[in-house]
Structure 1
Amino acid sequence: MIRRFWAAAGLAFVLAAGGAEAAPDVAKMTGGQLTAFARAMPKGGELHNHISGAIFAETLLAWAVEDGLCVNVKTLSVTPPCQPGEDLKPAAGIKTDEVLRAAMIDSFSVRHADFLDRSGHDQFFSAFGRFGAAGAKRDGDMLANVVDSLARQNTFYLEAMVTPQGVASRVKGAQVGWKGGDLAAQKAANTAAGLDALVAAAIAETDAMEARARALMKCGTPEALPGCQVTVRYLVQTSRVTPPEQTFAQLQMGVALIAADKRWVGLQMVAPEDHPLSIANYSLHMKMVAYLTDHGRTAKAALHAGELSMAYAAPEALRDHIAQAVRVAGARRIGHGVDLPLETGAEGLAAEMAAKGILVEVNLSSNDAILGVSGKAHPYAWLRQRGVPVSLSTDDAGILRIDLSHEYARAADEGATYADLKASARNAIAFSFLAGEGLWDDPGAYRRPAKACAGQVGKAEPKPGACADLIAASDKAREQWRHERLVAAFEAGAR
């Protein structure tokens, strides 16, 4: 069936294992064929998405106009309500000033690698400060934008990285001060200072964000946008470039939020890993996560680690960041993982991650733009060869001017097979932090469905009984069932 459908499109095929079925040979597709194929392919979900960096510059500028903000024509940034000044102009001016509009889009993205003589690394990380004001009050708008884009790419699960009560938790930490590394004393002092009270405010923020997104997408009405079908969970972003007491307070509040609200499913640590504070405090941060989560037993963590290259960090910083995230902090997933082959005992660490099922969230375009690591230099193929589970994601699609389909097409262009892409999509749900038992007894291999659903995976509906009960009781199994149904339709040639 898949042979018949894709042959009609002029695509090449290779025999699957055993020669029983044919799979699309993505290596032989033209650019246009691969683009269309990747967009239509069910991609399961996205596990590494900072929604604040996922919005394209054009949308951010439109919001700046709507909200009456200004642009600084010298720094090419958006500012809050306009104040008198020769460098400030109402954002509305970009409607008629094409030169300014183009410069602002450049400022918010990496589309011109040599923009203002900055490296891709510096352009990427500094962009947040230039466009941040445009999205400061648009959390729900950003969420709607991201999930609707994913749905239109046949992708229906998202773990979004957001910073709930970020400033308030940092302020609490600063008020308490640093207790000299006594993490138990630090936690007790934060609790006594009322840190846990921020959880209710974070839940209210989440409710408001989701309500705004649903309203924008007209969910529950005949005009509902596709994004209404996307299941969303959230990862608590915490900053690794603040003083230790502030980072700890953010982490502590995040763990409490995860315990209180099932929509929040894990911790993350963000900001440049090569920043001096990140380097200096990296081991301390891993100990913080380990202490607050009981080595991942009471709360899960998906940590940015190994987003480094020798262009931006000294060799000693590349020796063990991923190892510490896995072995000290108890991370269930690693974001980026680019420097893993450079770590001490890399082969043993990769084998350990494969055995434990610790997934690497792979961000090809991001790693190219920020670190200059691409093609054969990227460890994506190396990880696959060693059995480390991997899943493709975008990181910050707006700054990079990509989408998830682009990353799948890029992976194929750089040597991934259809089987690799299919595994990436499945991994995005199997290794998600969704609650419940999975649909597969062998996540990563996908040869053994759960006994309750044997012989039913890919069907429109589960049979009444054990399989239907599993899917009804498990968020993860439910998303996997939906994905397998989409894959079956895709491979049969249905749209």
Structure 2
Amino acid sequence: MTRIITLFCIFIAQIGFSQSAESYLEKIRNNEALLTAFFQQMPKGGDLHHHFSGSVYAEPLLERAIAEDFYLNLETMAVSKTKPEKGKWQTFSSIKNDGKLDYYEQQVMQTWSIKDYNGSVPSDDQFFDSFMKFEPTIAGHFAEGMLELKKRAIAENVSYIETQLSTIPCDMNVSDLVDFNTKLRQAASQKDEKAVLKLLDELYKSLQKKEAKKYADDFNTNFLAKLHKDLKIDDEKFTMRYQNFVLRFMEPVDLFKNLVIAFISSSESKLTAGVNIVSPEHGENSMKDYWLHMVMFKYCHSKFPDVKYTLHAGELTLGLVQPEDLTWHINDAIYIAGANRIGHGVDIAYEANSYDLLKYMAQKNIPIEINLVSNEFILKVKENRHPFTLYKEFNVPIVISTDDAGILRSNMTEQYVLLAKRYPDVSYETIKKYVYNSINYSFIQDTSVKKQLIKDLDNRFKIFEAKFSKN
């Protein structure tokens, strides 16, 4: 990186600081080294589509597993603090004593991330399967990861991250409510929204009696606020907020329970920045219950109208699912769930009445979170196949994000390099607009914090663009 920045400085010196940032960008469109230096230094605002566990790089996770002498599954490269009953497991200390640590370190790195990916397994499996394999190294170590992300963000001129930090722990017993799983799915199979909402209302009342609020309060006070304050996350250079999220693969009652708690948490803490839903969108339960999940969000919005939410929707492509499954996910996320932002949105060209949907997103200022590196690796969608130009054509607000920079071995700078190189009609001023979108369309609850971030962004761009002015 030092050599790239030096090259950048030499070039600027040679042209005598005689042009604008925009004209300089046009000259370097096809030079990735110069683009990297340019965007590394350019202010990049916020990263709004960001998974905490997938954004921490594998190296510190592996170091932690070795230092704490985790058990390693020699076949899958999963780790565990205690030895599971099934599988071929061995401690890192014994692996080291056998002289095989270097070998397995390399295997772990290639399994927990896309390092040296060679296509031996499907790319979507490589990506999604990695989470559970390194997840045991995250527990109890959120602080180290948050500080790593903050340091990296500051280094590449990112001033805000809106991360999906953790699910909200909950040991509530809902065994007496399992019959609702069948009832909800039966109503959903008929697309009987009225019946579903009635069932959800019954469930909601039961969850209130089971003190759902106490789980949200405990998470907000004893985990989120304490961690954020103790680490001094917010300062003059950087700000972080947190999205609560639920897991798509869960049974309806468990998912709704967690969703209600997530909404309660977001409604009562200014550190939270709304709610999301995650896990592979093409998974069995994800596909089967997708419409039902959207109605659940609609119901929770009726109870907590001030809570914002962004939804992973349309992270699908032709071949991954059947063609008919590409036609309705973004539609339902917007028209039924009422999403405030959409994450990925890759299948938009296949969505029913896609032009009307795009016009609606533009009219209602519903941004799309564009994740170029992620979409290329997981879905094999890039360049002219990527719907970025479609969203741009219809003036849908666009924000540029990383998704899971650790697993993908990427960063925010690379997203902008790909954007500038692949889409030469995107001007510097348009890119700058996307940067400001990342703050303007964030879910920061405190308006004074958002205003300060915009003011700071103004100053950062002033400093950056001065590099291209005449002496």
The normalised TM-score by structure 2 is 0.86
Q: Deviations over 1:267-304 (max 9, x none)?
A: 10000000111111111111110111129833111000
* Residue 112 in structure 1 maps to residue 113 in structure 2: no
Distance 1:483 1:93 in 2: 49
Indicate conservation of the 8 Å contact 1:26/1:418, yes or no. Answer: no
Distance 1:57 1:196 in 2: 35
Corresponding position of 2:194: none
CA distance 1:360–1:8, change in 2 (3 Å): same
Deviation, structure 1 residue 67: 2.4
Structure 2 counterpart SS, 1:25 = helix
Structure 1 counterpart SS, 2:240 = strand
Equivalent pairs, count: 439
Which residue, 125, 141, 154 being the options, matches 1:151? 154
Structure 1 counterpart of 2:455, which letter? W
Structure 1 counterpart of 2:213, which letter? D
Corresponding position of 1:343: 351
Distance 1:5 1:297 in 2: 53
Deviation, structure 1 residue 142: 1.4
Distance 1:156 1:91 in 2: 40
Corresponding position of 1:205: 223
Deviation, structure 1 residue 192: 0.7
Distance 2:457 2:176 in 1: 47
| RMSD of aligned residue pairs (Cα, Å) | 2.8
Distance 1:308 1:277 in 2: 15
Deviation, structure 1 residue 229: 3.1
Structure 1 counterpart of 2:106, which letter? A
List alignment gaps of at least 5 residues for structure 1. Answer: 220-226, 438-473
Distance 1:343 1:250 in 2: 29
Larger CA deviation: 375-384 vs 59-68: 59-68
Distance 1:417 1:63 in 2: 43
CA distance 1:287–1:345, change in 2 (3 Å): same
* Residue 299 in structure 1 maps to residue 298 in structure 2: no
* Residue 491 in structure 1 maps to residue 469 in structure 2: no
Corresponding position of 1:360: 368
Distance 1:79 1:346 in 2: 45
Structure 2 counterpart SS, 1:229 = coil
Structure 2 counterpart SS, 1:241 = coil
Larger CA deviation: 380-389 vs 239-248: 380-389
Indicate conservation of the 8 Å contact 1:82/1:90, yes or no. Answer: no
* Residue 418 in structure 1 maps to residue 428 in structure 2: yes
Indicate conservation of the 8 Å contact 2:244/2:275, yes or no. Answer: yes
Which residue, 389, 399, 402 being the options, matches 1:391? 399
Corresponding position of 2:167: 164
Structure 2 counterpart SS, 1:477 = helix
Deviation, structure 1 residue 392: 1.0
Which residue, 201, 213, 216 being the options, matches 1:184? 201
Structure 1 counterpart of 2:217, which letter? A
Q: Deviations over 1:207-245 (max 9, x none)?
A: 34325644xx8x9xxxxxxx8832111111111110000
Indicate conservation of the 8 Å contact 2:310/2:342, yes or no. Answer: yes
Corresponding position of 1:320: 328
Distance 1:324 1:338 in 2: 15
Corresponding position of 1:279: 287
* Residue 53 in structure 1 maps to residue 63 in structure 2: no
Structure 2 counterpart of 1:368, which letter? E
Distance 1:348 1:83 in 2: 52
Structure 2 counterpart of 1:477, which letter? K
Q: Deviations over 1:45-97 (max 9, x none)?
A: 10011011111111110111232312222211211145798631326856973
Deviation, structure 1 residue 23: 5.8
Equivalent runs, 1:18-37 vs 2, <5 Å: 22=23, 24-25=25-26, 28=29, 30-37=31-38
Structure 1 counterpart of 2:462, which letter? A
CA distance 1:92–1:104, change in 2 (3 Å): farther
Indicate conservation of the 8 Å contact 1:295/1:330, yes or no. Answer: no
Q: Deviations over 1:359-394 (max 9, x none)?
A: 011111111111111111001122112101111111
CA distance 1:11–1:407, change in 2 (3 Å): farther
Deviation, structure 1 residue 13: 9.6
Structure 2 counterpart of 1:207, which letter? A
Indicate conservation of the 8 Å contact 2:29/2:420, yes or no. Answer: no
Deviation, structure 1 residue 307: 0.2
CA distance 1:386–1:408, change in 2 (3 Å): same
Indicate conservation of the 8 Å contact 1:64/1:91, yes or no. Answer: no
Indicate conservation of the 8 Å contact 2:17/2:468, yes or no. Answer: no
Q: Deviations over 1:169-199 (max 9, x none)?
A: 6x54555335333111010011111211101
Corresponding position of 2:13: 8
Deviation, structure 1 residue 420: 3.0
**Taking CA–CA contacts closer than 8 Å with sequence separation of 6 or more, which of the two structures ends up with the larger relative contact order?**
2
